[in-house]
């Protein structure tokens, strides 16, 4: 089949991102032609401010150079402005006579700066701040002249003013409203911002309407306000807003209403013509930030690639100012209004101001000045529209989602210098991350992880990396979308995949992928283990486990080490062992020359440095059950000696621990699950940092859930107090089963609890007695007759090929 | 001069999996894709020497089990933005048997 012709008018970020997505989804479907009015290939427009400030060069901010177009077989017409769309003959015509036919057309014409309709606006020295050409003119003016006036005290105007100041000019910002950035900030925050910008040397004239730009010999010399006051100016930058560029679309008779009107699939009123980016009006709104534009591009590409499943439903945007040393964040409705409430923290001397606006117990808007660490979290709450009733008392203090260790105890990226280490796992400093974001044009957390490895191992520093991204990209930072696809192979979320498996009784991975139209033939290392887990947890005893879709540890039932050897941790119920077991372990260690024997944090013995082919022999000689110390499964139940021995013990915690472990071992879960039982509130088994922690008291047992002692220490929350050991089993089992059935793969109990809310879990485990008993029974059913994987492999020859090397 | 050497029957290698072949003290990973193509390379990730044979195979890539670097099975090249290369070893299937040129 001959490829269809796809033409794009406009060569900016939104459009080129759309093409990248099309090429990913359907590389051979189209023959692509691009027209760009500017003489440059695709560059990162949001980095013009740092270029103006002299922190970066044009070369640094190129996203796709001309080679990229060539490599992807795209015909590129640079410096050619399209002036006509002939819809009847499906052809576009450029000013110089170049033309191209299309089967599908993308309009990505961007926006035009708004120029004040005042006398003198065409004088030499009056510029807008929109493209490389404008920046060149500003830099040139900064070399020759002294007085710069920026008209407009919004985001763009302040960034322009800051850049010109850095270039040595004397800069005055003129603004018509009573305070700066009035569309993003309330008065208090704006005054604080103004003060710090004044300390940097900028001057401000507020509530001033420009009457006329005055000039001499065709060149600007000053500004006269409507109140008669005059100020000198050698350069005037108009930064009073942008307008969608609809000129071409309108001339072709395509319906426009402020922007080019599109539906949720980014189609204009002419179904062959799509539009993306700043030129668009979607549901009456136009966007000027990158994040929504990229979302549009993704949807548009999905339809162009004939997949037909994406919808763009609008974006909530946030703002961050890209001026070094100033920390500012705003999102949503921060102005308040009927039915809203405000929580305010104001410390002008300390330079911190925070305002949160709530309505019906949901976050409506936020303004942060001086401390924007929690901006990303507030933004997430805002977009998700989640009830904050349960966390209202500490909402203002934010969510420290930065781990506790590995980055010098820092939780504010802004306070870190370039040489300070952000990612302690991979040795990545703040400066490396900033550089990678700027030089490689990165926009998302995934991009940064792929390029720098920062936060890609334990994830402890994810919050810091997000802060760095947000501060480098400003409002153009794209936070994690509200609903995230399971992985790059699909647009479906974890929830949707689970639901399909349950409702359509899907029983095998290929069946799931076919049913949900996976884009890759056999998935990837992210989705296959997830789907395998969802299948076995939804349909126990009916689904056959797929070893090739398990991480090596769960496939080989041992823990891979850095040198490719394995470790073996025999199961010792509740941490109790016997001389006979210890003797067997000692004999095995000597017989197989095990290089290291260590006691683990979970009260077990770890045999390290074992060759894979020795594993079945070792398991046979040990004759102990699998320790599951390698899997997303119940790891260990840690206990103290309890009332049997301890003079303070109130309950037999050891017995309780053994019972729990024997009841739930072999339990696969979304992530690892750790339990502990203490015999009294002194809590020697550290039950407060376990997924389920049980603490004996004189009158029974207290059950705590959602603790975590790892990357970020989380103290478990109280779930229930029960009287008997049977109830401990039932309540813990029910909780674990609901977690197994509903958490996303690789989500620990604490994160799942944060997502669904403790109230929901309490309702289902405590109040709904029927539901609790049913969930507990489902867990017992799932675990019934589950084989011991070590025994199968050591004595029954299961998966023999896994452990045998072919020697030539 | 290297020769084609028979190493296993195709059905001895799991689909979307691998087997390790030890030859002259060196370990070679032999992969089998979902469509029954076979590929071979030294069993050593260019990143930190991880055993690629133990990784998850998807499409024509394997992901190293140690730190997740993805390696193309056809050319042994790390998938961008990572850099690195494992020299591939020619492999073929004839009459249901897998041969390597070593």
Using alpha carbons, list the distances in angstroms from residue A21 to A25, A296, A300, A492. 6, 11, 9, 17
Chain A residues closer than 8 Å to B12 by CB: 801, 806
Q: Return residues 768-807 of A near B (CB < 8 Å).
A: 801, 805-807
Contacts of B73 in chain A (CB under 8 A): none
B19 closest CB neighbour out of A457, A524, A806: A806
Phi, psi values for residue A413, rounded to 5° = -60, -35
Task: Name the DSSP letter for residue A547.
Answer: G
Asked if residues A62 and A129 have their Cβ atoms less than 8 Å apart, the reply is no
Q: Which pLDDT belongs to residue A58? A: 86
CATH 3.50.50.60 correct for A126-240: yes
Mutate to test the interface with A, among B16, B22, B36, B56 (most CBs of A within 10 A): B56
CA distance A221 to A376: 44
Across the interface, whether the CB atoms of A560 and B5 are under 8 A apart is answered no
Q: Which domain holds residue B28?
A: 4-101
Burial class (CB in 10 A: 0-12, 13-18, 19+), B45: buried
Q: Give the right CATH number for A413-476 from 1.10.3720.10, 3.40.50.150, 1.10.10.1100, 1.10.10.410.
A: 1.10.10.1100
- Chain B residues with CB-CB distance to A805 below 8 A: 19-22, 27
A189 φ, ψ (degrees, to nearest 5): -65, -40
* For range A298-304, the mean pLDDT: 94
Instruction: Tell me whether residues B8 and A529 touch, CB distance under 8 A.
Output: no
> Are A528 and B56 in contact (CB < 8 Å)?
yes
Task: Check pLDDT > 90 for residue A513.
Answer: yes
In this predicted model, what pLDDT tens digit does every residue of A781-801 receive, in sequence order?
999 988 999 999 999 989 999
Q: How high is the pLDDT of residue B95?
A: 94
> In sequence order, what are the beta bridge partners of A352?
A347
CB contact under 8 A, A548 and B55: no
Half-sphere exposure of A502 (CA within 13 A, CB side): 11
Q: Where in chain A is the domain with CATH 3.50.50.60?
A: 4-111+244-304, 126-240
Three-state secondary-structure class, residue A84: strand
- Show Cβ contacts of residue A423 under 8 Å, excluding neighbours closer than 6 positions: A406, A407, A452, A453, A454, A455, A456, A457, A461, A465
Q: Which residues of chain B have pLDDT under 70?
A: 1
Residue A580 exposure: Cα atoms within 13 Å on the Cβ side: 3
Residue with tokens 């001026």: A323
User: In this structure, what token pair is assigned to residue A477?
Assistant: 């930072």
- By Cβ distance, the residue of B27, B35, B58 closest to A524 is B58
If one counts every other C-beta atom within 10 angstroms of the C-beta of residue A227, the result is 9
Q: Residues of B with CB below 8 A from A801's CB?
A: 12-14, 19
Model confidence band, residue A332 (pLDDT cutoffs 50, 70, 90):
confident
Out of 1.10.3720.10, 3.40.50.300, 3.30.413.10, 3.40.50.970, select the CATH number for domain A632-787.
3.30.413.10
CA distance B60 to chain A (A): 10
Using a CB-CB cut-off of 8 Å, the residues of chain A touching B54 are: 552, 556, 560, 564
Give the H/E segment covering residue A194: helix A187-199
Closest CA to A601 of A638, A632, A561: A638
The domain spanning residue B79 has which CATH number? 2.102.10.10
pLDDT in tens, B67-90: 999 999 999 999 988 899 999 999
Q: Is A525 on the interface with B (CB under 8 A)?
A: yes
**Mean confidence (pLDDT) of chain B:** 94
E-only strand ranges, A321-450: 328-332, 340-347, 352-359, 362-369, 421-423, 428-429
How confident is residue A736, by pLDDT bands cut at 50, 70 and 90? very high
Residue A435: list chain B partners with CB under 8 A: none
Would you call B21 and A801 a contact, using CB atoms and an 8 Å cutoff? no
pLDDT tens digits, A674-723: 999 999 999 999 999 999 999 999 999 999 999 999 888 899 999 999 99
Amino acid A553: pLDDT = 96
- Specify the pTM: 0.78
Q: Rounded to the nearest 5°, which phi and psi values hold at A587?
A: -65, -45
- Could you tell me the CATH superfamily of domain A327-390? FAD/NAD-linked reductase, C-terminal dimerisation domain (3.30.390.30)
Answer yes or no: do B65 and A560 touch at CB < 8 A: yes
Mind spelling out the 3-state secondary structure of A748-787?
A: CHHHHHHHHCHHHHHHHHHHCHHHHHHHHHHHHHHHCCCC
Quote the radius of gyration of chain A (alpha carbons, Å): 31
Q: Domain A4-111+244-304 classified CATH 3.40.50.2300?
A: no
Q: How far is residue A534's CA from residue A528's CA, in Å, rounded to a whole number?
A: 10
Please say if the pLDDT value at position A478 is more than 70: no
| Most A CBs within 10 Å, among B34, B58, B78, to test the A interface | B58
Look at residue A476 in the predicted model and tell me its pLDDT: 66
Please spell the DSSP secondary structure of A437-495, one letter per residue. Answer: HHHHT--SHHHHHHHH-TTSSS-TTHHHHHHHHHHHHGGG--PPPSS-BSSTT-S-BHH
- Interval A244-270: pLDDT, tens: 999 999 999 999 999 999 999 999 999
Split into its structural domains, chain B has a count of: 1
- Average model confidence (pLDDT) across chain A: 92
Residue span(s) of chain A under CATH 1.10.10.1100 come to 413-476
Set of chain A residues whose Cβ sits within 8 Å of the Cβ of B16: 522, 548-549
Distance from CA of A594 to the nearest CA of B (A): 20
Please indicate whether residue A461 or residue A76 has the higher confidence score (pLDDT). A76
CB atoms B66 and A562 under 8 Å: yes
Structural contact between residues A374 and A345, judged by C-beta atoms closer than 8 angstroms: no
- The arithmetic mean of pLDDT across residues A118-127, rounded, is 94
- C-beta separation of A102 from A85 below 8 A: no
Distance from CA of A15 to the nearest CA of B (A): 23
Is A316 exposed, middle or buried, given 0-12, 13-18 or 19+ CB atoms closer than 10 A? middle
Residue A174 CB contacts under 8 Å (≥ 6 apart), including other chains: A149, A150, A151, A152, A153, A205, A208, A210, A223, A225
Give the one of B50, B58, B67 whose C-beta lies nearest to A525's C-beta.
B58
**Count of residues for chain B?**
102
CB-nearest to B65 from A524, A552, A808 is A552
Distance of residue A808 Cα from the nearest chain B Cα, in angstroms? 5
A643 pLDDT higher than 90: yes
ipTM for the predicted complex = 0.96
Query: How many contacts (CB atoms, under 8 Å) link A and B?
Result: 80
What is the percent of chain B where pLDDT is above 90? 90
Distance in angstroms (rounded) separating the CA atoms of residues A708 and A698: 26
In A574-706, which residue ranges form alpha helices assigned H by DSSP? 579-591, 615-622, 653-664
| B66 with A547: Cβ contact below 8 A | no
d(CA A583, CA A601): 21
CATH 3.30.390.30 domain extents, chain A: 327-390
């Amino acid at each position: 089949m001959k490829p269809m012709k796809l033409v794009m008018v406009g060569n900016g970020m939104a459009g080129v991102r759309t093409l990248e997505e099309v090429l990913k989804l359907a590389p051979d479907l189209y023959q692509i032609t691009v027209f760009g009015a500017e003489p440059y290939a695709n560059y990162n427009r949001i980095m013009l401010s740092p270029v103006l400030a002299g922190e970066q060069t044009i070369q640094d901010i190129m996203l796709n150079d001309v080679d990229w177009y060539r490599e992807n077989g795209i015909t590129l017409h640079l410096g050619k402005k399209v002036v006509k769309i002939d819809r009847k003959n499906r052809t576009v015509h450029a000013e110089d006579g170049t033309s191209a036919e299309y089967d599908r057309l993308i309009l990505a014409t961007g926006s035009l700066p708004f120029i004040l309709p005042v006398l003198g606006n065409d004088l030499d020295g009056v510029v807008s701040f929109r493209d490389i050409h404008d920046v060149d003119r500003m830099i040139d003016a900064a070399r020759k002249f002294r007085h710069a006036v920026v008209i407009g005290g919004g985001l763009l105007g302040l960034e322009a003013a800051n850049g010109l100041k850095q270039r040595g000019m004397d800069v005055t910002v003129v603004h018509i409203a009573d305070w700066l950035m009035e569309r993003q900030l309330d008065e208090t925050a704006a005054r604080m911002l103004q003060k710090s910008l004044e300390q940097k040397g900028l001057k401000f004239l507020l509530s001033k309407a420009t009457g006329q730009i005055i000039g001499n010999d065709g060149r600007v010399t000053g500004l006269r306000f409507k109140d008669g006051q005059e100020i000198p100016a050698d350069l005037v930058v108009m930064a009073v807003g942008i307008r969608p560029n609809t000129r071409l679309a309108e001339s072709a008779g395509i319906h426009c209403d402020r922007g080019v009107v599109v539906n949720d699939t980014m189609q204009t009123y002419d179904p062959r013509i799509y539009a993306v980016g700043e030129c668009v009006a979607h549901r009456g709104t136009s966007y000027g930030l990158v994040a929504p534009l990229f979302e549009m591009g993704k949807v548009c590409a999905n339809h162009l690639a004939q997949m037909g499943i994406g919808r763009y439903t609008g974006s909530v945007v946030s703002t961050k100012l890209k001026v070094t040393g100033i920390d500012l964040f705003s999102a949503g409705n921060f102005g308040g209004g009927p039915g809203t409430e405000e929580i305010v923290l104001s410390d002008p001397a300390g330079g911190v101001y925070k305002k949160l606006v709530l309505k019906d117990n949901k976050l409506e808007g936020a303004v942060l000045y001086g401390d924007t660490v929690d901006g990303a979290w507030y933004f997430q709450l805002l977009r998700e529209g989640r009830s904050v009733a349960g966390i209202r008392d500490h909402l203002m203090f934010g969510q420290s989602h930065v781990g506790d260790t590995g980055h010098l105890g820092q939780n504010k990226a802004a306070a870190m210098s370039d040489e300070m280490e952000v990612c302690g796992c991979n040795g990545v400093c703040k400066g490396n991350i900033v550089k990678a974001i700027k030089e490689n044009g990165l926009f998302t957390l995934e991009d940064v992880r792929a390029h720098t490895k920062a936060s890609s191992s334990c994830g402890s520093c994810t919050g810091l990396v997000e802060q760095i991204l947000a501060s480098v990209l400003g409002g153009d930072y794209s936070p994690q979308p509200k609903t995230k696809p399971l992985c790059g192979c699909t647009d479906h979320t974890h929830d949707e995949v689970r639901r399909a498996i349950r409702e359509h009784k899907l029983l095998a991975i290929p069946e799931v992928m076919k049913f949900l139209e996976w884009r890759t033939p056999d998935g990837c290392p992210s989705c296959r283990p997830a789907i395998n887990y969802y299948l076995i947890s939804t349909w126990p005893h009916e689904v056959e486990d797929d070893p090739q879709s398990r991480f090596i540890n769960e496939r080989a039932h041992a823990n891979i080490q850095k040198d490719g050897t394995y470790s073996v941790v025999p199961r010792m119920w509740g941490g109790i062992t016997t001389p006979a077991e210890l003797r067997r372990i000692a004999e095995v260690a000597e017989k197989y020359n095990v290089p290291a024997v260590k006691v683990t944090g979970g009260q077990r013995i770890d045999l390290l440095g074992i060759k894979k082919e020795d594993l079945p022999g070792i398991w046979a000689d040990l004759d102990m059950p699998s320790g599951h110390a390698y899997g997303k499964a119940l790891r260990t139940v840690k206990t103290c000696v309890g009332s049997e021995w301890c003079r303070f013990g109130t309950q037999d915690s050891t017995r309780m621990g053994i019972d729990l472990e024997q009841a739930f071992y072999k339990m696969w879960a979304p992530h690892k699950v750790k339990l502990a039982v203490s015999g009294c509130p002194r809590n020697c088994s550290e039950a407060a940092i376990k997924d389920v922690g049980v603490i004996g008291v004189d009158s029974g047992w207290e059950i705590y859930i959602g603790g975590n002692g790892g990357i970020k220490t989380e103290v478990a929350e109280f779930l229930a107090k029960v009287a008997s050991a049977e109830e401990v089993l039932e309540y813990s089992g029910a909780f674990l089963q609901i977690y197994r059935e509903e958490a996303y793969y690789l989500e620990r109990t604490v994160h799942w609890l944060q997502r669904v809310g403790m109230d929901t879990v309490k309702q289902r485990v405590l109040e709904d007695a029927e539901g609790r008993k049913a969930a507990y029974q489902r867990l017992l059913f799932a675990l019934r007759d589950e084989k011991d994987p070590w025994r199968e492999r050591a004595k029954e020859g299961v998966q023999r090929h896994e452990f045998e090397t072919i020697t030539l | 001069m290297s020769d084609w050497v028979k190493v296993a029957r195709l059905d001895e290698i799991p689909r979307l999996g691998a087997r390790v072949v030890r030859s002259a003290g060196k370990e070679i990973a032999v992969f089998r894709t979902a469509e029954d193509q076979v590929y071979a390379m030294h069993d050593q990730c260019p990143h930190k020497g991880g055993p690629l044979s133990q990784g998850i195979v998807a499409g024509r890539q394997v992901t190293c089990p140690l730190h997740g670097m993805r390696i193309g099975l056809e050319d042994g090249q790390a998938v961008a933005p990572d850099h690195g290369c494992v020299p591939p070893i020619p492999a073929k299937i004839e009459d249901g048997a897998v041969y390597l040129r070593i």
